[in-house]
Structure 1
Amino acid sequence: MIGLIFGDTDFPIEILKTIKKKKINYLIIDLSKSKKFKKDKKSYSVSIGQFGKIINILKKSNCKKILFAGKVDKPNLSELKLDIKGIYYIPRIIKASKLGDAAILKEIIKILAQNKIKTENSLIFNPELYLKKGNFSKIKPNKQDQLDITKAIKTLNSLREYNFSQGVVVRNQKVISIEGKGGTKKMLEKSRSKKFRNHGVLVKFPKKKQDLRVDLPTIGLKTLKQSKTAGLKGIVVKNKQHVFLDKIKCIKFANKNKMFISVK
């Protein structure tokens, strides 16, 4: 039995397809905004503050392993629905929240571990959703692109440990935009240029000292299209430390639009 703690994005849907195909016994803790898994008979809709309920559901089903997938927004602590265990654990969550989203996830993993529930890597069932080191498009980064990529990686590495940013846009060795709370879409909207077309790069790497079992940078066809609209030439992710959705469609789109997809 595997417990699936699901948030938003299409990543959880891909995991669920694989688990059903392999006939693995599962249950879902649905933390998505729209409760997108409510039609699944094995799904439980709960608040992130209901630790007692979450732990009881897992233990009642003899579920000793879980995985996280999908985006779970930082909770509004004043509006959280808390149960008794939630009240007990909330001071730790509040303390972690001051350090950022990554710290909250780390604290939740610790709480589950104390209750003898192990967190698995989110790609354990779907290794096909990451790319290995190399170039996956006909177009390859040129010298100028490589300089932009180096600048972007240095920028991400310089951010503090619990900064929520996983992405940065660099053009002509100048940092154009760093991912904020609005996510990749808003960052790319800020990066649009009328002057430069097919110029600049989006780099998406895990946060510094991130727990690589959860919250990996996710790329999909929407990201490629938004990058094209922003006038960028390519996207770079880190070897085996990302989720790449719609892989074939993304590569076709990149080739058609003379963009590159590169893995460092």
Structure 2
Amino acid sequence: MAATADRPLSIDLAPTDRIAVIAGGGDLPRELVRGLTAAGRPPFVIVVGGEDRAGLTDGDHTVLELEEYGRLLPVLRAARATHVVMAGSVSRRPRLRAIRFSLGLLKLLPGIVRGLGRGDDALLRVVVSHIEAAGIKVVGSHQILPDILAGPGALTRTRPAAAHQAGIAAGLAAARAIGALDIGQAAVAVGRRVVAVEGVEGTAGMLARVRDLRASGRISMPGGVLVKCAKPGQELRADLPAIGPDTVAQVHEAGLAGIAVEAGRAIVLRQADVIATADRLGLFVVGIDGPAS
């Protein structure tokens, strides 16, 4: 549900404050732009080069290639941005040899190299620290539109059966384990067995793998569950796990019975469509409690 003029944003803003959205791929940046605009706070949008621009370039915006990261702060200052929200996926990493370095960016280079060598969360922490050191506040998408977070319990008519609980527990443990290594945020369990964990290919790639494994007979037991949760100690303002209608369709194609996401720490994009699609396909979507970080 988007913010409206009658239903204000969840963060306090002064009349002169302005939010900039650094927009990657997927539906989340568009939901944020629509919500902010509806609330009378049209944002300045920085579209990450190479990502889908649909619905992001109608208002005040610019396109910034990953290798032009050194221009980020000057662009934000020129737009008079006081707050930044980072939303959406980025399909590739910057090419270090092609980065246009400034003096300030050279000082940041060791952190960027370490982040590139470790994982997404490590790199995002470097970016967040760089922006906030310039006096610009970084906020999470869920801090602007809190209704995009998954709530506890079943969202759908179909609920997980008792037989699914062991798979949910196994998938959650696996997702937390790879999250602690800054690898991914999701796992698939069939019965009590974890059959796939998320890598750099993302959730869609993992689900395609599960679909192919089932088609080849490597996974013979019916059903199973996709589990997504935040990484332990994750920078929650930048990369919360998310699902959307496409995820539901991919779960169905993989022969799974449903989805479990961490309540309060996972985003459900286009929630009405997620519920309608899952109900039509007979799948469950449920918000679960995750272990304490």
TM-score for both structures, normalised by structure 1: 0.92
Give runs of aligned pairs for residues 5-154 of structure 1, distance below 5 A: 5-34=22-51, 36=53, 39-72=57-90, 73-154=92-173
Structure 1: 4+ residue segments shifted above 4 A: 194-198
Q: Work out whether residues 198 and 231 of structure 1, in 8 Å CA contact, stay in contact via their aligned partners in 2.
A: yes
Structure 2 residue ranges without an equivalent (≥5): 1-17, 289-293
**CA distance in structure 2 between the aligned counterparts of 1:253 and 1:150, rounded to whole angstroms:** 24
1:85 and 1:49 mapped to 2: Cα distance?
15
By how many angstroms is 1:19 displaced?
A: 1.1
Tell me the CA shift for residue 160 of structure 1.
Answer: 5.6
CA shift in 2, pair 1:160/1:120, >3 Å = closer
Instruction: Say which SS state the counterpart of residue 112 (structure 1) adopts.
Output: helix
Paired residues, number: 264
- Root mean square deviation of aligned Cα: 2.0
Structure 1 contact 5–68 (Cα < 8 Å) conserved: yes
Counterpart for residue 163 of structure 1:
182
Q: Structure 2 counterpart of 1:218, which letter?
A: A
Q: Matched residues in 1 for 2:30 and 2:21: separation? A: 11
**2:199 match:** 180
1:3-35 superposed Cα distances (whole Å, 9 cap, x missing partner): 111111111001001111112142112214146
Partner of 1:261: 285
Of 185-194 and 105-114, the range deviating more from structure 2: 185-194
Q: 254, 272, 280: which is aligned to 1:248?
A: 272
Tell whether the 8 Å contact from 1:122 to 1:213 is kept in structure 2 after alignment.
yes
Whole-angstrom distance in 1 between the partners of 2:189 and 2:52: 36
Separation of aligned partners in 2, 1:161 and 1:199: 27
Deviates more, 1:166-175 or 1:136-145: 136-145
How many percent of aligned residue pairs carry the same amino acid?
25
- In the superposition, the TM-score normalised over structure 2's length comes to 0.83
Q: 2:223 and 2:69 mapped to 1: Cα distance?
A: 47
Specify the code of the residue in structure 2 equivalent to 1:167: A
What is the identity, as a one-letter code, of the residue corresponding to 1:244? V
Aligned pair in 2 of structure 1 residues 128, 35: CA closer, same or farther (>3 Å)? same
In the alignment, the residues of structure 1 paired with residue 58 and residue 73 of structure 2 have an alpha-carbon distance, to the nearest angstrom, of 20
C-alpha distance in structure 2 between counterparts of 1:105 and 1:157, whole Å: 19
Query: How far apart are the structure 2 equivalents of 1:153 and 1:121?
Result: 23
* Cα-to-partner distance string for 1:206-255 (whole Å, 9 max, x where unaligned): 12211111111111111101100100000010112112122122212222
State the distance in 1 between where 2:99 and 2:260 align.
Answer: 37
In the aligned structure 2, how far is the partner of 1:122 from the partner of 1:85? 27
Q: Are the structure 2 counterparts of residues 154 and 57 from structure 1 closer, same or farther at C-alpha, using a change threshold of 3 Å?
A: same
Contact 2:19 2:81 in 1 (8 A): yes
- The residue type paired with residue 265 of structure 2 is Q
